[in-house]
Amino acid sequence: MKTIGIITPGGDAPGMNAAIRAVVRIAHSRNCKILGFEKGWYGLLTESKKHLTPRAVGGIVQSGGTMLHTLRCLPFKTKEGIEKAANTLKSNNIEALIVIGGDGSFRGATELGTKSGIQMIGIPATIDNDVFGTDETIGFDTAANTAIGAIDKIRDTAISHERIFVVEVMGRKRGFLALHVGIGVGAEVILIPEQGYDIKKIVQVLNTNSKKGKQTAIIVAAEGVGDTGELAKEIAKHTGSEVRLSILGYAQRGGSPSGRSRLLASLFAEKAVDLMCNAQGNYIVGLTNGKIASIPMNQSIGAQKSIDPNMIQLAKQLSI
């Protein structure tokens, strides 16, 4: 019997529980014992663990968050921390660790794998969708739907008051969520960190729309573009319109995962267990051109995923 570990060390994302559930049930069917380490890397430093049986993961597929909890854990980033974590894996006879998270989680996993010599398998789960090696991450679809639903509501009051709204969405330093959401809500302007912005151009779009009788606008801004409060003030100053800022914040991180997020979680889990059973080194699983695939973990953490220029072009065409 193989003993494997599972951990969710970074920011949570809707669908993580579906991934945990699928890993446990599929690995169990392959005669594995599964230990879940709690509170992220902290759980490896304190041996906070629980034996995960198929029954232990019942009734969670529809729940947001992570049943294992997570913590930002600075001590793990020290030499002693990595050593302690490696020793915990060894003392629990862990032959492989399945790490569910984003880029930061895989960086930690790579260090831990090097130190311990234990196989690391990554399952990409973050609302930011910024992991190189997969077209989509678990939780992205759910977060996008959450933001789209919220902005559709904001548009009602924007129209009623003939106001301009700057709506800040998450995405850390990248614009994947903002671009996807902006297209989904028919935003008049979409701002992403990869392109920055020119206040004069934004004002020109808004003033042109105003001359066409369009007195309201939704500006979807990725949090990575900078101070959206200042941006809202600048727009008000240059247009004379009433401008409001709405920061969607952590609502985008929670909620029941969408069907797509649950399916992606289950497919990624199956691939991760396959890789683990074949002891195929340190990989992350992913979705590439509609197919479930995998790439070496060190290739993923060493590269930056690019934004699809066709999506940017589409957004420009739609916001005329």
Nearer Cβ to ligand F6P (172/271): 172
Q: How far is the CB of 129 from ligand F6P (least distance, A)?
A: 10
Which tokens sit at 221?
């801004």
Q: How far is the CB of 11 from ligand F6P (least distance, A)?
A: 4
Encode burial over 48-69: b for 16+ CB neighbours within 10 A, e otherwise: bbeebeeeebeebbebbbbbbe
Q: How many residues does the chain have?
A: 320
128: contact with ligand F6P by CB under 6 A: yes
Between helices 16-29 and 259-277, what is the axis angle to 10°? 40
Which tokens sit at 299?
């290739």
Return the beta strands (E) in 61-173 as ranges: 94-101, 119-124, 164-169
From the list 60-68, 120-128, 274-282, 302-310, the region that binds ligand F6P by CB under 6 A is: 120-128
At CA 71, angle to CA 293 and CA 306, rounded to 5?
35
From the list 125-133, 144-152, 240-248, 288-296, the region that binds ligand F6P by CB under 6 A is: 125-133
> One symbol per residue from 253 to 272: x for binding ligand F6P (CB under 6 A), - otherwise; what is it?
x-------------------
Nearer Cβ to ligand F6P (155/253): 253
63: contact with ligand F6P by CB under 6 A: no
Q: How far is the CB of 247 from ligand F6P (least distance, A)?
A: 11
Per the DSSP assignment, residues forming a β-bridge with 98 are: 6, 121
Return the beta strands (E) in 39-160 as ranges: 49-51, 94-101, 119-124
Nearer Cβ to ligand F6P (16/86): 16
172: contact with ligand F6P by CB under 6 A: yes
25: contact with ligand F6P by CB under 6 A: no
Report the relative pairing of strands 164-169 and 189-191 from DSSP bridges: unpaired
From the list 25-33, 166-174, 188-196, 287-295, the region that binds ligand F6P by CB under 6 A is: 166-174
> One symbol per residue from 73 to 102: x for binding ligand F6P (CB under 6 A), - otherwise; what is it?
-----------------------------x
From the list 122-130, 146-154, 179-187, 303-311, the region that binds ligand F6P by CB under 6 A is: 122-130
> Is the Cβ–Cβ distance between 4 and 27 less than 8 Å?
yes
Tokens 């060390």 locate to 9
Q: Single out the residue of 4, 8, 9, 11 in contact with ligand F6P (rule: CB under 6 A).
A: 11
Q: Which position's Cβ is nearest ligand F6P?
A: 170
Distance CA 63, CA 258 (A): 10
Nearer Cβ to ligand F6P (203/307): 307
First to last CA, the chain: 61
User: Distance from CA of residue 51 to its chain's centroid?
Assistant: 26
The verdict on whether 128 is a catalytic residue reads: yes
Catalytic residue among 12, 103, 128, 130: 128
Q: How far is the CB of 12 from ligand F6P (least distance, A)?
A: 8
Phi, psi of 251 (to 5 degrees): -60, -30
Distance CA 154, CA 145 (A): 14
> Is the Cβ–Cβ distance between 305 and 131 less than 8 Å?
yes
Site of interaction with ligand F6P (CB under 6 A)? 11, 72, 102, 126-128, 170-172, 223, 253
Catalytic center residues: 128
